[in-house]
Chains A and B, each alone.
Chain A
Amino acid sequence: MQLHRLSGNRAFRWQRISAFYLLLYTPLLALWITLTPHATTADNLIASLTTTWWVIPNLLALLLVITHAWVGLRDITLDYTPRQRTPLWLEALRWLLIAVMLNLALLLYWILL
């Protein structure tokens, strides 16, 4: 990955968008869990959070958490890795992201079907 191809503002915008969404989503999720009487076991909790109108917000939150974490990890990589090896570390980070997404897709497939 070439450093000069990295965007500054695109990462900045995604970080802000994901933070804003999670700021709204997290309290709502906490409220939902608190007010759901049967969410005392993991199975019940998963069942209540995979109801039709919770699936999309949950998936979106998961994707945005990963996006937010990716921007943070990219920043850490740019700041701390030795300059000659930064492109290598960024490439490794990209493959890690792809692996996480694949893993997540498999997990969701397993949960939803």
Chain B
Amino acid sequence: MEFIISRYNPETDTAPHDRHYRLHQQELDGGTMLLDALLKLREQDPTLAFRSSCQEGVCGSDGMNVNGQNCLSCITPLASLKSPIVIKPLPGLPIIKDLIVDMTLFYKHYAEAQPFLQAKPPSEAHEHLQTPAERAQLDGLYECVLCACCTTSCPSFWWNPDQFLGPAALMAAQRFVIDSRDIQTRERLQSLDDPMKTFRCRHIQNCTAACPKGLNPSRAIQALKASIAKEH
């Protein structure tokens, strides 16, 4: 099986370039994930750099662009990919080395969405309670693992990376806007009523197609926009 991997070392290279690798079929079994293949390739070439941690789709650290589609390498079966497998770093973010990108901007936007509960002061008598229906509203929004596959597949983010918050941050914002325990809903919506932060989203839906957890950021942003429109 052939792999074409984008390589870039800022100390020696002026621009990213492709390097070809091969793995014999005997080294791969039916259940091999892309990350397993990358680990084998790194045995061939120890200079190959990529992130990985939990290796089971929970930490979100091994996001990369594979055959034109963003994905997590640890939960992408090798059998589902056409050879040659073209692997590039996540698009739209600065490359640190090979497949490792600088996520600073992504985390900055995420922090700007204030992804934490701002509830009334806790009472000693009982916790902040929710009905099962109120809790169910959060399903499909809280499971994001911050892999950045959605945000870096979004053309609106490519055009305005410093101003548009991106699908991951906006989905997190929506998660707290609809949380029945949060008391800052109005302030959240007012801060998001901005043509650049939120309304750059054109619902291209690359984010939904790219999400390795099967979430739907585009729908969340649509609901967020509707909430902002209702608020005014």
Binding site for B on A (CB under 8 A): 3, 6-13, 16, 75, 78-80
Q: What is the CA–CA distance of A13 and B227 in the complex, to the nearest angstrom? A: 11
Contact B193 A9 (CB under 8 A): yes
Contact B225 A78 (CB under 8 A): no
Contact A12 B196 (CB under 8 A): no
Q: Give the residue name and chain of the B residue nearest to A6 (CB).
A: B195
Given contacts A13-B229, A79-B156, contact A8 B202 (CB under 8 A): no
B228 within 8 Å of A (CB atoms): yes
B160 within 8 Å of A (CB atoms): yes
A78 surroundings in chain B (CB, below 8 A): 160, 195-196, 200
Q: Mark B180-199, 1 if CB is under 8 A from A, else 0.
A: 00000000000011111111
Q: What is the CA–CA distance of A11 and B157 in the complex, to the nearest angstrom? A: 20
Q: What is the CA–CA distance of A104 and B5 in the complex, to the nearest angstrom? A: 57
A13 surroundings in chain B (CB, below 8 A): 229
A16 surroundings in chain B (CB, below 8 A): 229
Contact B199 A3 (CB under 8 A): no
Count chain B residues whose beta carbon lies closer than 8 angstroms to a beta carbon of A.
Answer: 18
A7 surroundings in chain B (CB, below 8 A): 193, 195
Q: Give the residue name and chain of the A residue nearest to B198 (CB).
A: A8
5 more contacts with CB within 8 A, not counting A9-B199, A12-B199, are A8-B194, A11-B195, A12-B229, A79-B159, A80-B159
Can you show 19 pairs from A to B with CB atoms below 8 A apart? A6-B195, A7-B193, A8-B192, A8-B195, A8-B196, A8-B197, A9-B193, A9-B199, A9-B228, A9-B229, A9-B231, A10-B232, A12-B199, A12-B225, A12-B229, A78-B200, A79-B156, A79-B160, A79-B200
Q: What is the CA–CA distance of A6 and B231 in the complex, to the nearest angstrom? A: 17
Q: What is the CA–CA distance of A16 and B202 in the complex, to the nearest angstrom? A: 13
Which of A6, A10, A75 has a CB less than 8 Å from the CB of B202?
A75
Contact A9 B225 (CB under 8 A): yes
Closest beta carbon of chain A to B177's beta carbon, Å: 14
A79 surroundings in chain B (CB, below 8 A): 156, 159-160, 200
